[in-house]
Amino acid sequence: MGFFELPLIAVGLSMDAFAVSLCKGLCMKKFNRLHAVITAASFGLFQAIMPLVGWLIGFKFEKLITSYDHWIAFGLLSLIGCKMIYDSFAEKDEPINCVMILDLKELFFLSVATSIDALAVGVTFAFLKVPILPSITLIGIITFVLCVVGVIVGNRFGIKYKNKAEMAGGLVLIFIGAKILLEHLGLL
């Protein structure tokens, strides 16, 4: 995996968390820095932990699937990307449920739900022999920064860009999956 792919994957993975952060910012009558940092830290932490778990699972089964790893990487990234694109169209009229207090239980479940796709990406990292510690660190940091920005943008401008962010993230993941497949097939 090259220098540009990992940050693009990190941005793609963080788009769900970014979209939820936009909603969190939208619900704030007045911007709250502590809530923004706690929200972003939760999303960043789970976006970093889940690829590690996926990497451990993939590493365990690597020898069984080495000849298919590029197809698996392509399939997983494409499925995640397609789901994100589908969700960007399907959720247009979904009402926003605003709660003014920071509910840590809700934040935990949102963090887990938005990071499930990162688990699958972690499996592909094992197959592709991606160094996991720098990768999850970068994913966590990028997610944290984007989620802080998401809360700020949501607070100032509303939810206008949520669907576009999810679509862009999905397209990035599909593009990277196709690139991995084409490289392994010798077409790039």
Q: What is the pLDDT of residues 45-99, one digit of tens each?
A: 999 999 999 999 988 876 776 677 678 778 877 887 787 788 778 755 555 555 5
Domain count, the chain: 1
Give the range of the structural domain holding residue 131, as residue numbers without chain letter: 5-184
* pLDDT score recorded for residue 44: 97
Report which listed range, 29-33, 126-130, 137-141, is most confident: 137-141
How many whole angstroms separate alpha carbon 62 and alpha carbon 69? 8
- What does pLDDT average to over the chain? 82
- Alpha-carbon distance of 184 to 51, in angstroms, equals 22
Higher pLDDT, 96 or 4: 4
The predicted pLDDT at position 33 comes to 92
How far CA 147 is from CA of 30, 62, 70, 141, in Å, comes to 17, 33, 30, 10
Q: What is the pTM of this model?
A: 0.73
